[in-house]
């Protein structure tokens, strides 16, 4: 029997990239996996192909994350994999557009993890794990992406 046989795992951003690979690995190890994504077709396809459960959820939406959390009595592992590399505004971008780009980058790469973690905190099993995917961009890349990933690392360390 695999050590993850009875574990319930939630993977945000589980429809593609690293999130999908994480969901596939936990599923292969026998965990009950739930994945999320923003696009209904992508969620349905990934859930079907991996043999897991899927839910449409924008991790940056507090109402959606709160609704997602109600699905779980007990959650053993949360993997915050939702995120991405937003386009960097060019020098000279109007300040309003610059603000919008930064807010979107911070929401996508930091706040989604914060909201999801806080929404499911009450369902986390004793000894449960929260894994938030970081990036070397926190140290080497400027802009909203690097700032968000650096903040995610700091928040994750403080939230232990």
Mean pLDDT of the chain: 91
pLDDT score, position 134: 84
The pairs formed by 142-148 with CB atoms below 8 angstroms and a separation of 24 or more are: 143/88, 143/105, 144/86, 144/88, 144/101, 144/102, 144/104, 144/105, 144/106, 144/109, 145/85, 145/86, 145/88, 145/105, 145/109, 147/102, 147/105, 147/106, 148/83, 148/105, 148/106, 148/108, 148/109, 148/110
Does residue 21 carry a pLDDT above 60? Answer: yes
Domain coverage including residue 94:
8-158
In the numeric block, the tokens 């292969």 are attached to: 28
- Angstrom CA distances, 68 to 12, 18, 105, stand at 11, 21, 22
Q: Read off the pLDDT of residues 100-117 as tens digits, 9 standing for 90 and up.
A: 999 999 999 999 999 999
> Residue 63: inside a domain, yes or no?
yes
pLDDT at 72 over 80: yes
Question: Is 70 contained in some domain?
Answer: yes
Per-residue confidence (pLDDT) for residue 138, from 0 to 100 = 64
| Counted domains in the chain | 1
Evaluate whether residue 69 is within a structural domain: yes
CATH number at residue 110: 3.40.50.720
Share of the chain above pLDDT 70, in %: 94
Q: Is 44 a domain residue?
A: yes
What per-residue confidence (pLDDT) applies to 146?
85
3-state secondary structure (DSSP) of residue 73: coil
- Tens of pLDDT, residue by residue over 133-154, are 987 766 776 778 888 888 899 9
For the residues 14-30, what does the mean pLDDT come to? Answer: 97
Residue 1 lies in a domain: no
Residue 46 lies in a domain: yes
3: in domain: no
Instruction: Respond yes or no: is residue 145 known to be catalytic.
Output: yes
| Domain annotation covers residue 26 | yes
Which residue in 26, 72, 102, 145 is the catalytic one? 145
Torsional sign, CA 160, 120, 11, 84: negative
pLDDT at 88 (0 to 100): 77
- Burial environment of residue 7 by CB neighbours within 10 A (0 to 12, 13 to 18, 19 or more): buried
pTM equals 0.91
């Amino acid at each position: 029997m695999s050590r993850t046989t009875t574990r319930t795992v939630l993977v945000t951003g589980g429809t593609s990239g690293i999130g999908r690979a994480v969901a596939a690995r936990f599923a292969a190890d026998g965990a009950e996996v739930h994945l999320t994504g923003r696009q209904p077709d992508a969620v349905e396809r990934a859930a079907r192909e991996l043999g897991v459960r899927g839910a449409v959820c924008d991790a940056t939406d507090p109402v959606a994350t709160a609704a997602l959390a109600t699905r779980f009595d007990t959650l053993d592992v949360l993997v915050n994999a939702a995120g991405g590399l937003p386009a960097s505004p060019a020098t000279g971008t109007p300040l309003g557009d610059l603000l919008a780009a930064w807010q979107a980058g911070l929401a996508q790469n930091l706040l989604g993890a914060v909201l999801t973690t806080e929404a499911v905190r009450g369902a986390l099993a004793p000894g449960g794990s929260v894994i938030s995917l970081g990036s070397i961009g926190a140290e080497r890349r400027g802009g909203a992406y690097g700032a968000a990933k650096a903040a995610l690392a700091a928040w994750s360390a403080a939230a232990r």
